[in-house]
Chain A
Amino acid sequence: MIRFIGKRLLLSIPVLLGVVFIVFAIMSLTPADPGSLILGIRATPEAVAKLNHELGFDKPFFERFFLYIKDIVLHFDFGVSYMNRKPCLQEALSYFPVTLQIAALSMFFSTVIGVSLGVFAAVKQYSLFDTFFSVMAMLFAAIPGFWVGMMLILIFSLTLGLLPPSGVASWDCYILPTATLVFGSSAELFRLTRAQMLEEIRQDYTRTALAKGAPNRVMIWRHALKNALLPVITSIGNSFGGLLGGAIIVETIFGMPGIGTYMLKHILAKDVPVVMTCTLILAAMFYFIILLVDIAYALIDPRIRAQYARKRGV
């Protein structure tokens, strides 16, 4: 298992390099050049060309990519913003905590709510509880998160005046943004957990468990749930990506100084280094979560472990 984790960590180097490459390639599709962006439309073509040369923008694509990687690896330098000439990394990181908090809180609550309600609904299939939450989940999986967010503001802030509609001044500022994301992602986890549980409860091995005298609750929580969780775990990992993306949108609704708000401002200004830095930070974060999920998966399922062992000759 330790070797498996070690290998996955080693593997993260080429993956992250790949991520940098993809993001770099995408961003270099931007038709504008930094010189004219920085200097504005009134600048002379000579001045623009000079600045582009200083920034190395006249070099071929792969050379620029190589230099970019070199700066990151050797100096942890992600370049400077076209807009304000500040180093991207430091500035982006200062916006990061807000986004991470929203995403992590949402992930925690949607997992707890989605998985537990999903199990109960499956166990009590066709009950009032099951029907009610299935209908709710169906609705919330299909409601756009940003719409929920605005409706929450409309109800809880503008009408009832209970919670702040924007900012990060106090802890209760996080309630509405988190709730906005939790509705959608817990609904998805609920549906998946319920479906998986229904499938597992029908498997023969649960009957074996009952036949050896397992109380119903042991059959459900120890046998069926563990098997049902395998796809659910994958989905929790993936939903974190969705939550990061969702957090970007939610920040703009609630006017929170997160990485999303920061990024959008710079996207509109075609500030490529900043957009790239933000994308890379979020992607690295997400990759780390997926890695944890893969490890959890292998811990639970011996068949996956066996497959890794076979494939990699451990």
Chain B
Amino acid sequence: MSEILLNVDDLSIVYKTSAGEVRAVNNVSFAIEKGKTLGLVGETGAGKTTTALGILRLLPVRTAEYRSGTIEFEGQNLLALSDKEMYGIRGRKISMVFQDPMTALNPIMTVNDQIAEAIRFHSDGTLKREEVDKRVNDILELVGIPASRKKEYPHQFSGGMKQRIVIAIALVCEPALLIADEPTSALDVTMQAQVLAMIMELKKKINTSMLMISHDLGVIARTCDDVAVMYAGEIIEMAPTDMIFTGNRHHPYTVGLMNSLPGVSGNAKRLRPIEGMMPDPTDLPAGCKFAPRCPFCEERCKTELPPCTEQNGHLVRCHRFA
């Protein structure tokens, strides 16, 4: 087994709101090995983005609270670091690409300045102007934007190009871990494939590990080594990618996800969407979170939290396989 880069253990995050406590992430554990890609899949509101922002400690300070767990990165617990130490991690060791490129860039700063800033934050001020310039040019070339346009402002670029710039900012310091939060969801389909291919190529080139967040199983299938399925703040199934898409030892929710996806489950049969809605995160069910929507729901599912069971590196949190 190769070296573990990121090890998230028993992570729980809540938001305190006037409507009550929102349990966004509940006892989540996963690990990413060096050079590997873990996919985090689930519907909107499942806690994927909260998990990602939680790793970078970018959650809103006033409302979000870590309830339990550790986030071990390169052997140190990120949750124990000082703010200053975190500045050195963000952008240098762990970078993030956000979902919406239209709003992710500062509208009144040139592209060059926004990329150069990322370099300067991590160069203790000794870097020469020309070196910064060169690195900006290099990364722009890598993401496919002519360096001649670097003095332009975000509003002068299309959505796809903006996302390339966001990726350039994220990768310019060659981080050990890249968190990509739905990096292509806001782009049009032709752009999606291009940008995705580019991310994967750059990932290989600079040998970075990746946490790929998506609700799109197609994207996950093409990019990830392992997949974790999230539901209502919990990881309910985790396995190497090929095992998620094959075999029959699956969490009913994962099965539901597959069935609501055209093309993957073969045959031209009717799509079968999952009935119902995700539970209210301020009032989660006591037992299995999926119980209210589960076709196999039994009495104990409603009261007892199902244990996680493993078989050949395939984790499932379901009473059926306990």
Q: Within the assembled complex, what's the spacing in Å between the Cα atoms of A212 and B120?
A: 10
User: In the complex, which residues of chain B have a beta carbon less than 8 angstroms from the beta carbon of A306?
Assistant: 153, 155-156
* Shortest CB distance B302–A (Å): 38
Within 8 A of A (CB), among B73-131: 83-84, 87-92, 95-96, 98, 100, 103-110, 117-118, 121-122
A53 within 8 A of B: no
Within 8 A of A (CB), among B146-180: 153, 155-156, 166, 169-170, 173
* Shortest CB distance B110–A (Å): 8
Inter-subunit contact B153/A205 (CB<8 Å): no
* Shortest CB distance A303–B (Å): 5
Within 8 A of B (CB), among A218-273: 218, 223, 226-227, 230
Task: Name B103's contact: one of A204, A215, A300 (CB within 8 Å).
Answer: A204
Chain B residue with minimal CB distance to A206?
A: B106
Q: Within the assembled complex, what's the spacing in Å between the Cα atoms of A207 and B106?
A: 10
Inter-subunit contact B155/A207 (CB<8 Å): no
A126, A209, A218 — which one has the most chain B CB atoms within 10 A of its CB? Answer: A209
A204, A208, A230, A300 — which one has the most chain B CB atoms within 10 A of its CB? Answer: A208
Inter-subunit contact A303/B155 (CB<8 Å): yes
Instruction: Give the size range of A's interface with the partner.
Output: 20 to 34
Inter-subunit contact A300/B58 (CB<8 Å): no
Inter-subunit contact A216/B83 (CB<8 Å): yes
B62 within 8 A of A: yes
* Shortest CB distance B18–A (Å): 13
Chain A residue with minimal CB distance to B169?
A: A212
Residues of chain B at interface, number, CB under 8 A: 34
Inter-subunit contact A205/B155 (CB<8 Å): no
Q: Within the assembled complex, what's the spacing in Å between the Cα atoms of A44 and B317?
A: 108
A214 within 8 A of B: yes
3 nearest A-B pairs in the assembled complex, by CB-CB distance: A213-B91, A212-B91, A212-B118
The chain B residues found within 8 Å of chain A, CB to CB, are 56, 58, 62, 83-84, 87-92, 95-96, 98, 100, 103-110, 117-118, 121-122, 153, 155-156, 166, 169-170, 173
Apart from A125-B62, A213-B87, A215-B87, what are 18 other A-B pairs with CB-CB below 8 Å? A210-B56, A211-B98, A212-B91, A212-B95, A212-B117, A212-B118, A212-B169, A213-B91, A213-B118, A213-B121, A213-B173, A214-B117, A215-B84, A226-B109, A302-B107, A302-B155, A303-B108, A303-B153
Name 21 interchain pairs, CB-CB below 8 A, sorted by A.
A203-B103, A205-B104, A205-B107, A208-B169, A210-B58, A211-B58, A211-B90, A212-B90, A212-B118, A212-B169, A212-B170, A213-B87, A213-B88, A213-B90, A213-B91, A213-B118, A215-B87, A227-B106, A301-B108, A302-B107, A303-B155
The chain A residues found within 8 Å of chain B, CB to CB, are 125-126, 203-205, 207-216, 218, 223, 226-227, 230, 300-303, 306
